[in-house]
Amino acid sequence: DAGITQSPRHKVTETGTPVTLRCHQTENHRYMYWYRQDPGHGLRLIHYSYGVKDTDKGEVSDGYSVSRSKTEDFLLTLESATSSQTSVYFCAISERGPGAFETDTQYFGPGTRLTVL
Amino acid sequence: SQQGEEDPQALSIQEGENATMNCSYKTSINNLQWYRQNSGRGLVHLILIRSNEREKHSGRLRVTLDTSKKSSSLLITASRAADTASYFCATSRPGAQKLVFGQGTRLTINP
């Protein structure tokens, strides 16, 4: 795992509580991503960041917010967790964005398993 | 709908045999990547093939890309038990800010 850590690795919480997941990288990569992985849906992009304080929505962003105040940290917040947000969350990083011809590969963290009761 | 769709969804073979997985997509792409995910772990990049390439090799991996058919295949030769994992294709479209992943092929190598 290319210098990417996620915390916590496991969390159980109750419906309606706020939850923050942290992604930390030591690679100084410009792009950071949050995905969720669910059976039958594969990997879906929640939000991504293309620089400090520069973020944008992915395909399943409702109910999630993100912040990036430093190059190395990308936070994902569930303002009020719901059972539908029970999932495995992956952070990923890349040097270049996906739209360029010379697309960089993405490096993934180990994941956070979140259960919302 | 997903840009990349893998086929088959699951594949079980004997150790030593070759495994072939396919990926189809819908729109023009810059490149296509293959990733592997072991159970309970994050995805690991295997190989990237650009839209102007037709075939690429990396060790026991061979990837082909047919842009006219909008499809790619991943061949793993001489499979090993350690190859047991899920394999995902991911496509990058011109100007897009995200990769789009398929739902994966679950590969099981039987000893």
pLDDT in tens, A76-114: 999 999 999 999 999 999 987 766 656 668 999 999 999
Average model confidence (pLDDT) across chain A: 92
Least confident of A19-23, A85-89, B15-19, B39-43: B39-43
Per-residue pLDDT at B40 = 87
Least confident of A71-85, A86-100, B24-38, B44-58: A86-100
User: Taking 50 as the threshold, does the pLDDT of residue B47 lie above it?
Assistant: yes
Residues on chain B bordering chain A, Cβ-to-Cβ distance under 8 angstroms: 2, 30-31, 33, 40-45, 48, 50, 88, 90, 92-99, 101-104
- Closest residue in A to B30 (Cα–Cα): A101
Cβ contacts of residue B37 below 8 Å, gap of 6+? B43, B44, B85, B86, B87, B88, B104
Per-residue pLDDT at B2 = 45
Please report which confidence band the pLDDT of residue A2 belongs to, taking 50, 70 and 90 as the band edges. low
Interchain CB distance below 8 Å, A101 and B50: yes
Per-residue pLDDT at A54 = 93
User: Taking 90 as the threshold, does the pLDDT of residue A14 lie above it?
Assistant: yes
Q: Mean pLDDT throughout A6-22?
A: 97
Residue of A1, A42, A90 with shortest CB distance to B102: A42
Q: Mean pLDDT throughout A46-70?
A: 94
Interchain CB distance below 8 Å, A110 and B104: no
Per-residue pLDDT at B30 = 86
What one-character-per-residue DSSP string does B60-107 give?
A: TEEEEEETTTTEEEEEE-S--GGG-EEEEEEEE-TT-SSEEE---EEE
Residue of A98, A101, A107 with shortest CB distance to B97: A98
Q: Mean pLDDT throughout B27-49?
A: 92
- Closest residue in A to B100 (Cα–Cα): A44
Q: What is the DSSP letter of B97?
A: S
